[in-house]
Structure 1
Amino acid sequence: MARTDVGGAAGVGAVGLRGGFGRLWGAAVVSRFGDALRGTALPLLAHALTADPLLIALVTACGFAPWLLFGLLGGAVADRVDQRRAMWAVDVLRGLLMGGFALAVAAGAAGIGLLLALAFALTTLQTLFDNAATALLPAVVPREALTSANARLMTGQEVVGRFVGGPVAPLLIGVGLALPFAVDAATYLLAAALVASLRTGAPPRPPAASGRTLRREIAEGIRALWGDRVLRGFCLSVALGNVGVGALIAELVVVVKDWLGAGDFGYVAVTTGYGAGTVLGGLLVMGVPPARAKPRAWGTVVAALGGRFRTLLLAGVVEAAVLVVFGTVRALWPAALALGLFGFAGTVWNVLETTLVQQRAPEAMLGRISSAFRTVSIAGTPLGALLGGGAAAAWGPNSPALVAAALLGVGAVLLIPVVRGGDGTSSHSGQIPLPHS
């Protein structure tokens, strides 16, 4: 794949915020700012429109369902089209949708049905956008710099979303409930302009054989994911762990308020601790060196752990261990520290996992393989939410944290055979082979 307009690559394994990656980073950060505004305003609007908790829950459900329905399709389409054009076109469409929704809110014409339709439409478009973005990044930065690039993207999004968008959202809502949605629409359009300004070469794809269908290409992506021992092991681990994470997310407020007895301040404290941990985790992984490169700064720490596979395994073990603390120590500040460590380990995991998929998958199949990985991973989250609610009702308000710890621990155990099989980053010759046409 051609890698033009890298701009900011400052040596092997490093990537700066100039040139193509800088624009891609800016688009991701700007878009995350808008997401934070919408994520705060949408539940408030839903609560103002209806007192039915089922309808309010359906707004969240509509934000997950399209991944299960269209995630695989989005990956197949991302492998067929120019990813850069797909991304900016999707963002323009999402900007227009949000702009229209903001006008409806300002006019008092937004009902709960419109909220459900908007949440479903935005996530449906996101299935194409996210898979295209995963496939585009290796065209913007050198393959050996993917870990640093993913870390910068995730850390920038977390900082802006949690520490900028979160505090700004109440101020905008105070001016008018439609304002956060209008600003969100503007961030989509700005992100589209930044992505459209990228200059990347077209990815090499084998000539399409006659009779090839999206269904066949989706099946190829699933088979490729399942046929790779490493990716299969990590996918199963993530899927199981996300059942636990779903349980924790759904009942976090119950754990904090009913188990810790901490109130609103305590809830803010533990979520802030989580956010700070995610940022520190991203800063750590930014320094992870590529294979055969001399470790630098924070990367020395990760290299000393024995490589990326062992680092991922350790991150999973840490996540499970700190949730045991979170669910057994009935004190606010240890709980906030535990959730901070959970966020730290989670970011290390997310960055290295994303990079692993990008490095092992053939470039012509990256959209399909990443979409299959993501769809399987997300599928367990709604189930986990139900499990968390049932556990809290049956065993007490701290049980969702302990259930999450157990599932994350089992997920880590699933990685042991992968780690024993050896570490390392696949080169082009070590990628999953392309299927025969």
Structure 2
Amino acid sequence: MTTGRGFGVLWSANALSNLADGLAFISMPLLAASMTDDPRIVAGLATLYAIVRLFVALPIGVLVDRIDRRLLIINANLLRGLALLAFALTLHLGLSSLVILYLSMAVVATLESTADNAAVAILPSLVDRGRLDSANGRIAATQLVADEFAGPPLGGFLIAIAAAAPVFAMGGLWAAAGLVALALPVHPRRHNQLGVAATLHGPRSVYKEALEGIAWLAHHRLVGGLALIGALASVGYMLTFSILVLFAWEKLGLNETSYGLLLACSALGGLLGSLITSKLRNKLGYRWTIAGSLLLGALSMGGLAMSTNPIIAGALLAAYILHAVVWNICSTSLRQRLVPDAMLGRVGGATRVLGLLGLALGSFLGGFLGTTSLVTPVATAAGVFVVCSILAALIVQDESTISD
């Protein structure tokens, strides 16, 4: 296998889906704000999204290991498309409400989790394992362009035309992603394995199967260690980003427009990271690429804590996002290489739960520490990433000991 037609189909479907995600990122909160001026209800949309993704992660992991992943990607995207087209129709006809908006967001969160997990799990069957870093890097680059550069401005432009316009666009893009995914290659061997498993074991408990994934993760030193580092890194991320807008206003003297520019510039670091990760890994190996990237995260957060210059802060944030992308690509590729195919969905789901819990804890701690000084959570994040880097150097093995 190489990064050939099958990967090209997955990449294309992901690109369409990512563009819809970018539209949703800006459009859904704006729609909520157009229906109510209660900040709790507007913010509640993001809270609902996070809670749904947390609670569905484990059962979706089981589903990804039970069912043909190709069909999951197809159906998750088609169903998202149909749900959003129906929501857009209610907006167009003036029949929508906050309840429908919230229900639509819950559907999007559930099906997004399904499509994302299935895409990560199917990738090792589409490319050579030695090219997983490159494939994951291409997917990450496309996601950054769609989510950060293309989706938000397009969403703002469309919603200025009509409230339903970006929602129609989202629905169309997700439906198109599902149709493109129809061209993913069918793997008869996996069909046979799923059929044999169902025949031998009969109906099985979702709970027990989810526990199998958790147990595998807990007993694998490298993959389990990476999951814990990921959870800790998520804490560090949200320590800063939960209060970043306040830090930008008070410490850097930025306004709403310049803050948006700061974030856009920082995303360029992630784009660079997605392009160089494979070369870095080939030169340094997983151990030092991961440890070095996490150390870069620590240095960038430490520098940001001391910075009052918006240009320097932008460069430091770009370095931070670069580290985050390199870390994410390497940890994902290692998981894809080391986890048995039959467990990829469940181990991925358990890893996602740890990451989401880390985000929630980091957000809480960022707000709590920020009441004393906005520098405190940023400086604390730097310390967290130092710990992550040390753990990575201790846990990640030399390249020669990592078996495919």
The bucket for the TM-score relative to the shorter chain is over 0.9
1:220 counterpart = 2:212? yes
Structure 1 residues 262 and 63, CA gap change in structure 2 (3 angstroms): same
String of CA shifts for 1:61-120, please: whole Å, max 9, x gaps. 111112221211101111010000111111111111100111122233322222222222
String of CA shifts for 1:187-221, please: whole Å, max 9, x gaps. 01110011111113142456342463222211111
Structure 1 residues 398 and 111, CA gap change in structure 2 (3 angstroms): farther
Report what 2:300 is aligned to.
322
What CA distance in whole angstroms lies between the structure 2 residues aligned with 1:129 and 1:384?
26
Q: Which of the residues 286, 292, 299 maps onto 1:308? A: 286
What CA distance in whole angstroms lies between the structure 1 residues aligned with 2:37 and 2:359?
25
Shift of 1:383: 2.2
Report what 1:180 is aligned to.
166
Q: Which of the residues 388, 394, 404 maps onto 1:417? A: 394
What CA distance in whole angstroms lies between the structure 2 residues aligned with 1:212 and 1:44?
43
* Structure 2 counterparts to residues 163-312 of structure 1, below 5 A: 163-202=149-188, 203=190, 204=193, 207=197, 208-210=200-202, 212-285=204-277, 288=278, 299=279, 301-305=280-284, 307-312=285-290
Answer with 329-338 or 58-67: which moved more: 58-67
Q: Name the TM-score, length of structure 2 as normaliser.
A: 0.94
Quick check: which one's helix share is greater?
A: 2
8 Å CA contact retained: 1:247, 1:403: yes
Shift of 1:411: 2.3
Q: Which of the residues 12, 15, 20 maps onto 1:29? A: 15
Answer with 32-41 or 379-388: which moved more: 379-388
Answer with 236-245 or 195-204: which moved more: 195-204
Once superposed, what is the RMSD of the aligned Cα atoms? Answer: 1.7
What CA distance in whole angstroms lies between the structure 1 residues aligned with 2:176 and 2:202?
39
Q: Which of the residues 303, 327, 339 maps onto 1:349? A: 327
8 Å CA contact retained: 2:286, 2:398: no
What CA distance in whole angstroms lies between the structure 2 residues aligned with 1:171 and 1:264?
17
8 Å CA contact retained: 2:10, 2:119: no
Shift of 1:34: 1.1
Report what 1:396 is aligned to.
373
Figure out how many residues of one structure are paired with residues of the other and give that number: 398
8 Å CA contact retained: 1:50, 1:56: yes
String of CA shifts for 1:121-142, please: whole Å, max 9, x gaps. 2112222222211111111112
Q: Which of the residues 365, 384, 389 maps onto 1:407? A: 384
Structure 1 residues 159 and 425, CA gap change in structure 2 (3 angstroms): farther
Structure 1 residues 211 and 183, CA gap change in structure 2 (3 angstroms): closer
Extract unaligned runs of 5+ from structure 2: none
1:427 counterpart = 2:403? yes
**3-state SS of paired residue (2:336):** helix
8 Å CA contact retained: 1:392, 1:400: yes
Letter in 1 for 2:292: L
Q: Which of the residues 333, 336, 350 maps onto 1:358? A: 336
Letter in 2 for 1:242: S
Letter in 1 for 2:67: V
What CA distance in whole angstroms lies between the structure 2 residues aligned with 1:216 and 1:37?
37
8 Å CA contact retained: 2:287, 2:393: no
8 Å CA contact retained: 2:265, 2:314: yes
What CA distance in whole angstroms lies between the structure 2 residues aligned with 1:190 and 1:231?
34
What CA distance in whole angstroms lies between the structure 1 residues aligned with 2:328 and 2:271?
12
Letter in 2 for 1:129: A
What CA distance in whole angstroms lies between the structure 1 residues aligned with 2:296 and 2:341?
32
What CA distance in whole angstroms lies between the structure 1 residues aligned with 2:382 and 2:101?
34
Report what 1:102 is aligned to.
88
8 Å CA contact retained: 1:95, 1:186: yes
What CA distance in whole angstroms lies between the structure 1 residues aligned with 2:283 and 2:63?
40
Q: Name the TM-score, length of structure 1 as normaliser.
A: 0.87
Answer with 310-319 or 197-206: which moved more: 197-206
8 Å CA contact retained: 1:150, 1:351: yes
String of CA shifts for 1:352-393, please: whole Å, max 9, x gaps. 111011000001111111111111111121222122122222
Report what 1:431 is aligned to.
none
Q: Which of the residues 361, 365, 371 maps onto 1:387? A: 365
Report what 1:111 is aligned to.
97
Shift of 1:425: 6.8
Letter in 1 for 2:302: V
8 Å CA contact retained: 1:102, 1:179: yes
* Structure 2 counterparts to residues 25-174 of structure 1, below 5 A: 25-174=11-160
